[in-house]
Amino acid sequence: MKKMGPIGIFDSGVGGTSIWKEIHTLLPFEDTLYLADSKYAPYGNRTKEEIISLSIKNTEFLLSQGCKIIVVACNTATTNAIKVLRTNYSIPIIGIEPAIKPAALKSKTKSVGILATKGTLSSELFHKTSEAFTEGITVTEVIGEGLVPLIEKGELDSSEMRELLKKHTSSMIEANVDYLVLGCSHYPYIIPQLQKILPKNITIIDSGEAVAKQTQAILAENNLLVTKKRTPTLRFYTNAETNTLQFLLKEYAEKISIEKKEF
């Protein structure tokens, strides 16, 4: 495997760019190639079979571009398809799962909330993790219905978004959670809106930094880490409009390229 190949990252859409930001911050000399499969978003309400077949499509495309590692920057794709991907491909594959373990360990009220897609919450992998780490903890699971389509449109702070967030968090507040786990890579973009709604004692956690650290560790283990100072090539492909990617990545505009492409 070539050390200079890009880190391939995919998500059902624009949300995984929250993970890309963590990866690029930690590994600033690595080339990256990000796929936003926005044409087929949201994945959250799709069947397991559909999610597997879309994940295979994205992985094949990233492999055809010479990627040295794949980061599945989507909880829904990870929890439904990572087993199949790891069976089919020999390249290292990193996934993202809701940070339920740290939340359960840290919770003082013994009550945690998780906001994720239907696909993630109904998956076997999520159930296994949740069962393994939440003994004695009340877990309030809420499907973030409607959130991903709004974020895909770049609508982070509309009245519709604020109403949905109030609705989705009410049962968690009632259950006295002190940790809210964001189980979807789109959701870090709505942390400021959530903070306005939630009581101050609730800590929001996501898995972005953990995924970046895991990517670094696996690259190092496989002798694939680029540590020499260089200017990387940072490409973003979407199979829908480029507007939202441009908006969410505006602070990187000078150093990245965003292109519409069929994949």
Instruction: Please give the positions annotated as active site.
Output: 74, 184
Shorter beta-carbon distance to ligand DGL: residue 143 or 258: 143
In whole angstroms, how close is the CB of 95 to ligand DGL at the nearest point?
Answer: 10
Decide: is 11 part of the binding site for ligand DGL (CB under 6 A).
yes
- DSSP codes, 237-257: EESS-SHHHHHHTGGGTTTEE
Angle between helices 124-133 and 75-88 (to 10 degrees): 110
Decide: is 44 part of the binding site for ligand DGL (CB under 6 A).
yes
Shorter beta-carbon distance to ligand DGL: residue 5 or 44: 44
Angle between helices 208-221 and 17-26 (to 10 degrees): 50
Give backbone dihedrals phi and psi of 12, rounded to 5 degrees, phi first. Answer: -65, -15
Q: Which of 36, 69, 184, 226 binds ligand DGL (CB under 6 A)?
A: 184
Decide: is 185 part of the binding site for ligand DGL (CB under 6 A).
yes
Q: Which of 117, 123, 207, 244 binds ligand DGL (CB under 6 A)?
A: 117
Counting Cα atoms < 13 Å in the Cβ hemisphere of 3 gives 10
- For residues 57 to 86, the per-residue mask of contacts with ligand DGL, x marking binding by CB under 6 A and - elsewhere, is -----------------xxx----------
Q: Residue 221 carries which side chain, given as an amino acid letter?
A: E
Contact residues for ligand DGL, defined by CB under 6 A: 11-13, 15, 41-44, 74-76, 117, 120, 148, 184-186
